[in-house]
Amino acid sequence: MSSSPALPTTGQAATGGAHTPHGVPGWLVALLAVASGTTVANLYYAQPLLASLRDVFHVTSATAGVLITLTQVGYVLGMLFLVPLGDRLEKRGLITALLTVTTLALVAAGLSTGFPMLLIASLISGGTSVVAQILVPFAASLAPDHARGRIVGRVMSGLLTGILLSRTLSSLVSDLAGWRVVYLGSAALMAVLAVALRFALPAHAPTTTVPYHHVLRSTLTLVRTHPALLRRGLYQAAMFGAFSAFWTTISYVLTGPGFHYSAVGVGVFALVGAAGAAIAPLAGRWADRGLARPLTGVAFGVAAVSFAVAGLGQHSVVLLALAAILVDMAVQTTLILGQHTIYRLDSRALARLNSAFIATFFLGGALGSQLGSLAYRSGGWGAVAVLGTALPLLALLYWLTEHRAAGRKPVPVSG
């Protein structure tokens, strides 16, 4: 694999010379982690609020679940059509533009007068929140090969913490000031973040000069050329589908007759799941040691077990919390291992590789959210547990066929 693209002199100056063991300043890794987490959190603020939003807008539980699905669909569209621009344009300008649109969309969401308006605003904010997935390959391109897994793992730990803490923050803010403040507060945060990243990030030159439509076409070519890219995307689609089914429906369980939790209670429960983010740096180290394949299989097994525990513990908050931690750890492990794998395919096409990978598994997440809502409506939490168990087991069966593709030498397609 070719070496990572060199940064311009201005980028090196911005990093302060980068005299660190891994070639990337600690403050920059921390900034990328925080930025990734706060940006991707926009996709999840609504999850613990679904029961409240259902009542506010007088819609059914399944219709309320469409809000999560549509936000993730927007994210997929952003991954397909916006993230590849990370290889085509200077990244700081692209990030600033996307965060500006995100800010405006979140303001519109906070001022929504009807559920359709909230859906449209969420679709747009979901699409432009892909900034998180421009920052992750940005970090990967800065890191030397021997430390890439660790650097990406640290940035991803911030991203994953943002996903998990977003539910708690959303619940607390909503309980104190109303659901609209959740969106308006995030809009203010995105505006601050746009300015901070504009001044703090090193300049990073484009890695290709081909026209935009060629960039999009080359993304599809990467999927055909690198079987590991599609395989890893499908692995994560199954895992993220299970993850989304769990977190989209658990608020109904916790606010229902069995527990009678408030929005704050749901948020505190979500905070327990955040413990799973601690696995991300470890997963990065495991990937650097060449353990990606065996630990992927282990993670599938853990995810299946976690839903079995969740199904058995639908009347026990302790078992539900244990299941939440296990499923989050499993999903995060496969995500880090998958990103480490695809970033080694072609260092000149990191944004496009990430685009295809994330878009594939977020489709699984969107499908999981909707199937989870439908399963809960038709069969309760038990049906959700069956769905969540089946998805990682299907991935495990597919994983068993991976040795057949071993030893294939993909040809770099950088466009």
Pick the most confident of 173-182, 263-272, 392-401.
392-401
- Region 71-77 average pLDDT: 87
Q: Residues of the chain with pLDDT > 70: what percent?
A: 90
Residues 6 or more apart in contact with residue 345 via CB below 8 angstroms:
1, 222, 226, 228, 229, 353, 410, 412
pTM, two decimal places: 0.73
Which residue, among 50, 80, 93, has the nearest Cα to 68 in the 3D structure? 50
Q: Residue 118: CB partners within 8 Å, gap ≥ 6?
A: 53, 57, 67, 109, 112
- pLDDT confidence bin for 361, thresholds 50/70/90: confident
What tokens does 260 get?
A: 């009678």
Give the pLDDT mean for 381-394: 96
Higher per-residue confidence, 227 vs 403? 227
Does the pLDDT value for residue 141 go beyond 80?
Answer: no
Residue 211 pLDDT greater than 80, yes or no: yes
Mean predicted confidence (pLDDT) in 252-258 = 86
91-110 vs 179-200: helix crossing angle, rounded to 10: 170
320 against 255, higher pLDDT: 320
Residue among 295, 363, 359, 361 nearest 329 (CA): 295
CA 296 to CA 305: how far, in whole Å? Answer: 14
C-alpha to C-alpha distances, 165 to 155, 161, 267, nearest whole angstrom? 15, 6, 8
2-44 pLDDT per residue, tens: 333 333 333 343 444 444 545 677 788 888 888 999 999 999 8
How large is the angle between the packed helices 61-81 and 227-255, nearest 10 degrees?
Answer: 150
Count of helices and strands (H, E) across the chain: 17, 0
The DSSP output letter for 317 is: H
Structure-block tokens of residue 129: 């929140």
Instruction: pLDDT band for 285, please (50, 70, 90 cuts).
Output: confident
Query: 3-state DSSP call for residue 358?
Result: helix
User: What pLDDT was estimated at residue 95?
Assistant: 92
Token pair in block for residue 25: 């300043």
d(CA 173, CA 180): 9
Among candidates 244, 246, 243, 265, which has minimal Cα distance to 254?
265
Q: Read off the pLDDT of each residue in 200-217 and give the average, rounded to a whole number.
A: 80
Q: Residue 330 corresponds to which tokens in the numbers above?
A: 């499993």
For tokens 């302060």, name the residue: 16
**pLDDT attached to residue 7:** 37
For residue 407, pLDDT over 50 is answered with no
What are the DSSP calls for 42-106, one per residue? Answer: GGTTTGGGHHHHHHHTT--HHHHHHHHHHHHHHHHHHHHHTTTHHHHS-HHHHHHHHHHHHHHHH
Distance CA 67, CA 263 (A): 17
Judged on CB neighbours under 10 Å (0-12, 13-18, 19+), 185 is middle
* pLDDT for 22: 56
Whether 160 shows a pLDDT value over 70: the answer reads yes
Which helix (H) or strand (E) segment holds residue 299: the answer is helix 292-312
Q: How many CA atoms lie within 13 A of 297 on its CB side?
A: 10
The reported pLDDT for the residue numbered 243 is 92
The mean-pLDDT minimum among 272-286, 294-308, 372-386 falls in 272-286
pLDDT in tens, 316-352: 999 999 999 999 899 989 998 998 899 888 877 877 8
More confident residue, 242 or 287: 242
Q: Which residue has the higher pLDDT, 402 or 330?
A: 330
Greatest alpha-carbon pair distance for the chain in Å reads 61
The string of pLDDT tens digits covering residues 55-70 is 899 888 778 888 988 9
Question: Could you state, in order of their start, the residue ranges of all structural domains in the chain?
Answer: 12-405
Question: With pLDDT > 90 as the criterion, what percentage of the chain qualifies?
Answer: 37
Neighbours of 317 (CB within 10 A): 17
Q: Is the pLDDT of residue 82 over 60?
A: yes
User: pLDDT category, 184, cuts 50, 70, 90?
Assistant: very high
Of 360, 304, 308, 305, which is closest to residue 335 (Cα–Cα)? 360
CATH of region 12-405: 1.20.1250.20
Average pLDDT of 126-132? Answer: 91
CA atoms of 71 and 58, how far apart (whole Å): 20
Average pLDDT along the chain? 84
Mean pLDDT of 371-375: 91
Alpha-carbon gap, residue 391 to 303, rounded angstroms: 9
Q: pLDDT tens for residues 94-127?
A: 999 999 999 999 999 999 999 999 999 999 999 9
Q: Can you give the pLDDT at residue 12? A: 40
> 199: which residues sit within 8 A by CB, 6+ positions away?
none
* Cα 360 from chain centre: 12
Q: Rounded distance, CA 170 to CA 168, Å?
A: 5
Q: Position 155: which residue type? A: V
User: At residue 414, does pLDDT exceed 70?
Assistant: no
**What's the CA gap between 232 and 230, in Å, rounded?**
5
Alpha-carbon gap, residue 285 to 149, rounded angstroms: 6
90 versus 122: the higher-pLDDT residue is 122
